[in-house]
Structure 1
Amino acid sequence: MQLRVLSLMAGGRSNGAVATDLGLSRQALDHHLCRLRVGLDADSRPALVARAYTLGILHTRVWWPPRAAVPPYQG
């Protein structure tokens, strides 16, 4: 789920749009964003996206729309 959140954020979607696209409440999205901020040591949306690209979580060879570099976990 967090890879999908990052991909949509990198594509410029607002928090409300990300929540709607993924069928999440705003509170659930806030939970995922908090975990992402802590896990990637980023304090803003742009920092999250930049860290995701820098760490290879988002694929840098795909121009648009952003995609996860690894397949999502299906567990």
Structure 2
Amino acid sequence: MSDTPGEQPNLLLSLRTRAEPPAPASAPRAEVSPTEARILAAAARGDTTAQIGREIGLAADGVNYHLARLSRRWHVPNRTALVGRAYAFGVLVAEVWPPEPARRT
């Protein structure tokens, strides 16, 4: 601080912040229900929504519900990317035709 009149006093300010590490981006979860796994296997075969619904025993809206939920959870834009992600996560067995869900322990 200055003792001289007319001179602006210097102000010393110290801020202390506690740095929090950035929260990690939420990683997609690879867990799926048995119904979701069967839907993914049928989608990997190229079945239509109606065909998947008949096989699983759901209405087309039910199949679309599960596909949309998985797409949001895994951050993918379409069915093709969803099937690719299912293989990458090990939800579907690689190198097997027709596609089938992996056995979960």
Q: Do both share a fold (TM > 0.5)? A: yes
Q: Give yes or no for the alignment of 1:67 onto 2:100.
A: yes
Write the distance in 2 (CA, Å) between the matches of 1:27 and 1:12: 18
Q: Percent identity?
A: 34
Normalising by structure 1, we get a TM-score of 0.84
Q: Which runs of 4+ in 1 moved over 6 A?
A: none
> Relative contact order (C-alpha < 8 Å, sep 6+): which is higher?
1
Question: Could you tell me which residue of structure 2 aligns to residue 42 of structure 1?
Answer: 76
Question: Could you tell me which residue of structure 1 aligns to residue 92 of structure 2?
Answer: 58
Write the distance in 2 (CA, Å) between the matches of 1:57 and 1:10: 11
Amino acid at match of 1:55: F
What's the C-alpha RMSD, in Å, of the aligned pairs? 1.1
Question: Could you tell me which residue of structure 2 aligns to residue 24 of structure 1?
Answer: 58
Contact 1:7 1:66 in 2 (8 A): yes
> How many pairs align?
70
Normalising by structure 2, we get a TM-score of 0.62
Gaps in structure 2 of 5+ consecutive residues? 1-34
2:45 to 11, 16, 19: 11
Contact 1:40 1:52 in 2 (8 A): no
| SS of aligned partner of 1:69 | coil
Write the distance in 1 (CA, Å) between the matches of 2:102 and 2:56: 19
Write the distance in 2 (CA, Å) between the matches of 1:6 and 1:22: 11
- Work out which of the two has the higher radius of gyration on C-alpha atoms and give 1 or 2: 2
Amino acid at match of 1:69: A
Gaps in structure 1 of 5+ consecutive residues? none
